[in-house]
Chain A
Amino acid sequence: MMVGVESAQIGRIDDLAGDYDVVVIGAGPSGLRAATTASEFGAQVLLVDENQTPGGQIYRSVLRAQEADRRRLGEDYWRGRAIAEAFLRSDAHYSPMTTAWSIVPFHGESGEIIGHEVGISAAGKTRLIRTKQIVLGTGALERPFPVPGWTLPGVMTAGAAQIALKASGLIPEGRVVIAGTGPLLYLLAAQLIDAGATISAVLDTTPKANWRKALRYLPEFLASPYAIKGMKLLCSVLRRTKVVRWVSSLSAEGEGALKEVVWRANGREQRVPADILLLHQGIVPNINFSNALGCEHEWDERQLAFRPRVDKWYRTSVPGIAITGDGAGIQGAEAAALQGALAGLGCAVRLGLIDIESGERRAAPLRSQLRKASRGRAFLEVLYRPAESFRIPQNPNTIVCRCEEISAGQIRSSVDAGAIGPNQMKVFLRTGMGPCQGRLCGLTVTELIANERGVGPNEVGYYRLRFPIKPLRLSELASLPQSEAAKAAVLADLADTHPPKNGRGERL
């Protein structure tokens, strides 16, 4: 339990200061280290996070974990306690169960950006907090996995099952199938089996050809700490459940809920009855904030995702905004923590709490650890590159935008009718206009359009997102104590992002 280490926690957002030197968003390893580091140099720091306790994805609920959880989830999980406790011992303020939904710059006399105002809400209350520096440690999302039937109740992401296990000790029961690719797929399978779940099958969608392409990165991988861990995981899963390789197509079937999983492997179609299907094909940076802020992004062809451009202090192209951890490109938890420390240090330098020479001196060992922590990633990225057929649905009936129920076929025909980018697609079909704001369809829509047009994703681009990046309730807006101008700006954006609809969900 957290007894004795909760001193930094602020219970209500009313009690937060109006101004901070640094606001960190996200309490994963990168955000925790950024906040702890900046605070060590004397900066006034606020960390806000949506979850009940610190830890982010990998260390979710770690401060509530008991010995039994340690056995189920492993030492890599348990290690998060130290990072979370060091943060709680720091002077940084911590506002859990708090969502950040906007970041708006404020300007100096000559028009330069001198800070930002962060919109946050918790328990139905809303505040705008001013800050000189922002570190986004908002992490990653699981890559969309658009297969037929993926919207049926009973189909979830593998990450969702892991969250239920970490946060509530829930173990999937009945006939459980896990499908997809990526290192986390096997980690989760192992964790669930260790927790006592019976897994009917792991359907591995890693394409055969990936192995050949990944071979040249193998020596570096073998020298990395991932190699032994990865092999152990793989063996422990292979020993305890059926693994089907070279799965080339997959669908979930059922009326109103999942009943069967159907797949094709080695040219043969098979089906099994299933109660739960857990999907996973890697994770991608969560770029909602950086996109809405107008930070420059680039398409990372190896990670198959957009990522914000950052410098060696993890600063983006927008002054005062840094992004660390998975949000800046997928590198794993250890790298996320080191990047967070570097970003925190960078804030201290920019705030004048430490001179640049000392900053560089302290950064050097962190940077060399970071290089070490990043070794072996190339192999993983190439090996676990999800097949095109699982990213760009060939079946025209497969739903792509889950919120508005738009299919791959509708998107392809809209490209032919002139919707050449994701923003035009919004106008044509309302893709990305539902409450998830494109988080679950953005990459698929980009890749589908690129595929249909025969160009690269960089040319197609991503949805242009607007604040608020999470839907707000009017009561939350009404509780804003700030200026009418700020409220009007938010409302204007809201109207723009969520045009009024009639009862059938059609745009008026």
Chain B
Amino acid sequence: MFRRAPDRMRDQVTFTFDGNPIVAAAGDSVAAALLAAGIQACRTTPVSGAPRGPYCMMGVCFECLVRIDGVGNRQGCLVPVREGMKVETQKGSYALPAEAGQ
């Protein structure tokens, strides 16, 4: 779906998405790293369970919500990937952060 310009693959960072290892470039947001790895959907909606993926990449739409290192409702497009990060599909309920007690 997306490929990376060869001049932009500098320092590499490895993280996992739903347990699968993915290599990204340092400085990538989590959402960009997922798109670069061919992953388009990163969550399912609380209402109908439909899959959704990053839409705006600038912190506006909240479609990029994922679980990062066990914490739900993180905006993947605003969080830089880090070595060893554990990213997971966010399934359903936003159970808004305050309620989830995170």
Contacts and interface: CB of A to CB of B under 8 A. Distances in A.
B102 A154 contact: no
B23 interface: no
Interface in A341-358: none
> Which applies to chain B's interface (DSSP): helix, strand, loop or mixed?
loop
A493 to B, nearest CB: 11
Could you say which interface size class chain A belongs to?
35 or more
Given A160-B58, A403-B62, A257 B27 contact: no
Contacts of A331: none
Contacts of B57: 156-157, 159-161, 163-164
Contacts of A494: 98
A294 interface: no
A152 B58 CA distance: 18
A440 interface: yes
A195 B55 CA distance: 21
A360 interface: no
Interface in A171-229: 171-174, 195-196
Given A153-B53, A167-B29, A173-B1, A159 B58 contact: yes
A72 interface: yes
Contacts of B52: 151, 153, 402
A157 B47 contact: no
A473 B98 contact: yes
Contact of B62 (A68, A196, A434, A500): A434
Given A153-B53, A154-B40, A498-B98, A405 B4 contact: no
Contacts, number: 162
A331 to B, nearest CB: 19
A168 B1 contact: no
Nearest to A491: B98
Interface in B50-95: 50-63, 65, 71, 73, 77-78, 80, 93-95
Contacts of A161: 57
B96 A471 contact: yes
B5 A196 contact: yes
B55 A160 contact: yes
A172 B97 contact: no
Contact of A172 (B2, B29, B51): B2
Contact of A505 (B5, B46, B59, B80): B46
Given A154-B1, A402-B61, A439-B60, A66 B80 contact: no
B33 to A, nearest CB: 8
A275 B40 CA distance: 10
A168 B56 contact: no
B41 A141 contact: no
A24 B53 CA distance: 31
Given A153-B53, A170-B3, A257 B40 contact: yes
Interface string A25-62: 00000000000000000000000001010000100000
Given A155-B55, A164-B35, A257-B41, 5 more contacts: A57-B58, A160-B56, A167-B32, A169-B5, A440-B60
